[in-house]
Amino acid sequence: MFYYCIKLLARCSLLFFFRRKITCGFPLHTLRGPAIIASNHPNSMLDAVVIACQCKQPVHFTIRSDMFNNPLFRLLLKFLNGIPVYRVSEEKEKLRENFTSIDLCRNILKNGGIIIIFSEGITVHEWKLKPLKSGTAKIVHYALCDEQLRYTLQVAPVGLTYSDYEHPAKTLIVQSGEIFYPGRLPYNEHTGAWKQEFNAQLFQKLHSLVPALGTDKGKTKNLWQAILTNVTLRDNCNNLIKHIHHQGYLLSAQDFEPPLYQKLKRSFFPLHYADYYKSFAIAALLCIPALAGFVLNSLFYFPVGVFARIKTKGTIFYDALLFGLLTILYPVYIMLTSVLLDYFTSAPFWLWIFIIPFTGWCSTKFWMYMMKIKNYLILEPSERRYVQELITGTEVNNKKHQDIRSPFH
């Protein structure tokens, strides 16, 4: 019951936390165990939440063992089906406990369960697939020792791509690849050779699901985030992913220099001239409810955001902690504030329960459209056309790179 309540709250929070969520490929809500979801790991614990909310069946997930050291977290992770993974970097003295975790994974799979495993093994805020660790292969190989699982165990590769790791109203792309059956690989008792073969196949499948940016240049990353933030699903999802892969390939060229003198603020940008005026109109309509939302929600959102920033300074957990705090505490804040406003105003309690989150949503939308307008105004006409063409995939006004062919085309 606790798992389903948290999952319901998380699904509601995702509607506010992400401006847009694009899902492509195999529908995870139809997945039934025994199955392992093998995913990249760009955004710490938020990745598990995103994937779990895509699945209809309850899922288990692997997580670094030191998260269980806090008694409160240990209890929470137990109810949310967390499985500890012991690593040299955190708890070297407990490495042998991994045998217990691997055995637990096999029992879960034998009972028709689903396990999320982050095959890269570590989280880094970047846009590329990292080399895969051996954990997924170890769990799969041990599971295949069971005769039943050798024929029924499925592996579903999933690629997660975030437009941003530190700000609200981000875009999320979830792409699921074709399911494959590891039991159909030649089973080798010598685990080293088998793990290498499995990891090679899994890496190949994940590589096509994770659009890559191979540079750390600030201006190029800014353009890349503009592509991910503003890209839209027009017709075919496969074409969308190929387009993002191709643009990442162009931006990753060693001699690529974007012809922009101004940095885009939060990456929002109108895709065409009409979209610019549409942003003006929508911002005007949202102005009053957005102001109300700012007043009603700022006493909660800004202190929580500052707290999350301080607690996660120097780490990659800001997004995950902020999301968790919003999921757990925001409903409490809505209830308490609604009770107070019901007492001091003529509006009833139930109406404030609707008004507070709705106006908060209006504030986020208003801020987003104002960023679109601001970014449009700070660029020269030629720069605007360049960014719009880069986002939409039309001919980019950079002849030096027009003839470059991406391996994804």
pLDDT, tens digit only, all 409 positions of the chain? 788 888 888 888 888 889 888 888 889 999 997 999 999 999 988 999 999 999 999 999 998 887 787 787 788 888 888 888 887 666 666 777 788 888 999 999 999 999 999 999 888 888 999 999 888 999 998 898 888 898 899 999 999 999 988 887 889 999 999 999 988 877 666 677 888 888 999 999 999 899 988 888 888 888 888 889 988 776 677 778 888 888 888 888 877 887 777 778 878 888 888 889 999 999 999 999 999 999 999 999 999 999 999 999 888 889 989 999 999 999 999 999 999 999 999 999 999 999 999 999 999 999 999 999 999 998 888 888 888 888 887 654 344 444 444 444 4
Whole-number Å distance between alpha carbons of 265 and 379: 11
Does one domain contain both 161 and 182? Answer: yes
Does one domain contain both 282 and 310? Answer: yes
Does one domain contain both 202 and 342? Answer: no
Whether residue 408 is contained in a domain is answered as no
Does one domain contain both 230 and 199? Answer: no
Residue 251's pLDDT is: 87
Q: How many domains does the chain have?
A: 2
Which of 207, 237, 258 marks a domain boundary?
Answer: 207
170 within 8 A of 235, measured Cβ to Cβ? no
Does one domain contain both 191 and 306? Answer: no
Whole-number Å distance between alpha carbons of 387 and 374: 14
Does one domain contain both 28 and 139? Answer: yes
Question: For residue 128, what are the domain limits?
Answer: 2-207
Does one domain contain both 48 and 87? Answer: yes
Whether residue 27 is contained in a domain is answered as yes
Residue 408's pLDDT is: 46
Does one domain contain both 290 and 318? Answer: yes
Q: What does the H/E/C string look like for the chain?
A: CHHHHHHHHHHHHHHHHEEEEEEEECCHHHCCCCEEEEECCCCCCHHHHHHHHHCCCCEEEEEEHHHHCCHHHHHHHHHCCEEEECCHHHHHHHHHHHHHHHHHHHHHHHCCCEEEEECCCCCCCCCCCCCCCCHHHHHHHHHCCCHHHHHHCEEEEEEEEECCCCCCCEEEEEEECCCECHHHCCCCCCHHHHHHHHHHHHHHHHHCCCCCCCCCCHHHHHHHHHHHHHCCCCCCHHHHHHHHHHHHHHHCCCCCCCCCCCCCCCCCCCCCHHHHHHHHHHHHHHHHHHHHHHHHHHHHHHHHHHHHHHHCCCCCCHHHHHHHHHHHHHHHHHHHHHHHHHHHCCCCHHHHHHHHHHHHHHHHHHHHHHHHHHHHHHCCHHHHHHHHHHHHCCCCCCHHHCCCCCCCC
Does one domain contain both 299 and 270? Answer: yes
Whether residue 109 is contained in a domain is answered as yes
Whole-number Å distance between alpha carbons of 198 and 144: 12
Whether residue 234 is contained in a domain is answered as yes
Encoded tokens for 369: 């459209």
Whether residue 111 is contained in a domain is answered as yes
Does one domain contain both 174 and 226? Answer: no
Pairing of strands 114-118, 35-39: parallel
Residue 398's pLDDT is: 44
Residue 289's pLDDT is: 96
Residue 42's pLDDT is: 92
The CATH number that applies at residue 48 is 3.40.1130.10
Whole-number Å distance between alpha carbons of 305 and 321: 9
Residue 235's pLDDT is: 61
Does one domain contain both 48 and 180? Answer: yes
Angle at 327 between CA 166 and CA 53, to 5 degrees: 90
Whether residue 213 is contained in a domain is answered as no
Which of 153, 185, 207 marks a domain boundary?
Answer: 207
Whole-number Å distance between alpha carbons of 221 and 251: 9
Whether residue 406 is contained in a domain is answered as no
Whether residue 263 is contained in a domain is answered as yes
Does one domain contain both 125 and 245? Answer: no
At position 108, the amino acid (one-letter code) is I
Which of 207, 237, 261 marks a domain boundary?
Answer: 207
Q: Say whether pTM exceeds 0.85.
A: yes
CA distances from 343 to 57, 293, 347, 352 (A): 42, 19, 9, 11
Whole-number Å distance between alpha carbons of 348 and 170: 33
